[in-house]
Structure 1
């Protein structure tokens, strides 16, 4: 299962660059092998000239550039140190849901997206890890490690609570979940991430049935873990209230993310995976 999941994720990752509207810019500044940070620091790539400040040593002055004006200038290079990205993929039983036999469960889509994103980031020289399972590391060996961890993780608990163990200070993180459980756990995780200077993205993954509520007449609703059960004779009458509560939950998630400088989106398993992968990659790039 792990090799198959990794192969699918790599195939998805390989199709990403042509889809980017900023492909040329990315090729010039990122090249999917070097992720420019657009701030001064250690590196080889020239970024900008700035006026010399008090405290700058004489060897920092670019004398050729300074000779063309009455001021002294320092040549700054772009910071290119590798970034650490921690992924959390909800392992709860709720993620095993699929509203149609022709659709993969939410858990499969979450794992595929997480691994595809890892492919892109690792190829870009970043360090990637799984919260609570694998510390961020670089290289292809890490990709194999991540695939094995994702494939071997068993479902546990009715709903998931985001894990922050292993997050690197001032790094990046991505949480993939349906976020249908207690949102206070999401709020707590985001607060911990913010305390460490971690920025990132929330990707809510839902099945189309959870988004559309196509139920009518006598229906029995039961949670994937079997701890909750509700039977109704007129499911259609619940649709409006359900959709309103789902909209409120999305608004709350968006607000929690916005409060700490994170990004939020909802992705449906009935949609192509490319759109969510593109969004996630762009969100991490834009969050630098």
Structure 2
């Protein structure tokens, strides 16, 4: 029979554990506040009012009166309000059921690209918009989650911290990303934020799966202005951010027309896929206003099915 090792005093155990926890705690402290602060600031610039997501439905709070319309039932008529007019009125209540909003933020290496030192990368802009949108959704009483990072939809400030931690992680080793939606709840809303420079077939598959689950949402493509203008000429070496693809040419300018044509085809394809799935599509450049992008995303989620 083996003898159990002597039990260490509490202070010794604490002394041994603390050095292991401190680097992780300091790392989180450095990663979370900047992203959260920037997201909170961006969200605060969007003036939505106290009831930004009010809509008719099941609930206890009064919203508005509206005239009786074809298809309404007599039991829905507010007779007291109707007695003061020659028109029958319906008393509508505010929808109070929380909705799930799922985000997929491309974490591939291509998202690291920035065409200018003073401009944020595509990844930085995608993460900021995703977290700022989460702040707005949580303030509106919705549940928010990340579809591919083990973050199921939840509400509250603690969930925002979970999302900030997940979004502050390292990028994957893959050159280009593809939507991964294993935890997408039925009838939820979803937003995919990516440069969509990878396999278009993966996007098509993800949208088909989302449509089968009754999920509506938005494809939000994020590009650097350099990727739109292709300002290259002469001898140029093109290399993917992950280093797996490389192409050298002496006449980069001759590639401009073909590149821009392929990019336009990719945008058209994304818009077509979104329209077929009942989704919305938008292309945003990192040189543009993040506030305008956030407003578009919020409006896209407000859209009725």
TM class, shorter-chain normalised?
Answer: 0.7 to 0.9
1:77/1:249 CA distance change after superposition, 3 Å = same
Contiguous gaps of at least 5 residues in structure 1: 18-25
- The reply on whether 1:234 has 2:264 as its aligned counterpart is no
User: What residue number does 1:20 align with?
Assistant: none
User: What residue number does 1:136 align with?
Assistant: 153
User: What residue number does 1:23 align with?
Assistant: none
TM-score of the superposed pair, with normalisation by structure 1: 0.86
User: What residue number does 1:8 align with?
Assistant: 38
- The reply on whether 1:106 has 2:136 as its aligned counterpart is no
CA offsets 1:205-233 (integer angstroms, 9 cap, x no match): 11111111010000011111111111100
Which one is further off, 67-76 or 271-280? 67-76
Which one is further off, 202-211 or 94-103? 94-103
Q: CA deviation at 1:124?
A: 1.2
1:217/1:192 CA distance change after superposition, 3 Å = same
User: What residue number does 1:162 align with?
Assistant: 179
Distance 2:89 2:225 in 1: 57
Distance 2:236 2:107 in 1: 27
Q: Aligned ranges for residues 52-131 of structure 1 at < 5 Å?
A: 62-65=78-81, 75-131=91-147
User: What residue number does 1:21 align with?
Assistant: none
Distance 1:246 1:254 in 2: 12
Distance 2:37 2:85 in 1: 56
Q: Does the 8 A contact of 1:50 with 1:75 survive in 2?
A: no
SS in 2 for 1:231: strand
TM-score of the superposed pair, with normalisation by structure 2: 0.82
Distance 1:274 1:130 in 2: 21
CA offsets 1:174-210 (integer angstroms, 9 cap, x no match): 1000000111111111111111111111111111111
CA offsets 1:124-167 (integer angstroms, 9 cap, x no match): 11111111221111111111110001002432311111121222
Distance 1:41 1:103 in 2: 45
Distance 1:40 1:235 in 2: 57
SS in 2 for 1:152: coil
User: What residue number does 1:36 align with?
Assistant: 54
1:238/1:76 CA distance change after superposition, 3 Å = same
Which one is further off, 152-161 or 171-180? 152-161
CA radius of gyration, larger in: 2
Q: Does the 8 A contact of 1:199 with 1:287 survive in 2?
A: no
User: What residue number does 1:201 align with?
Assistant: 218
Q: Does the 8 A contact of 2:68 with 2:87 survive in 1?
A: no
Distance 1:260 1:149 in 2: 28
Q: Does the 8 A contact of 1:172 with 1:199 survive in 2?
A: yes
Q: Does the 8 A contact of 2:57 with 2:96 survive in 1?
A: no
Distance 1:203 1:53 in 2: 37
Equivalent residues, number: 273
1:44/1:100 CA distance change after superposition, 3 Å = same
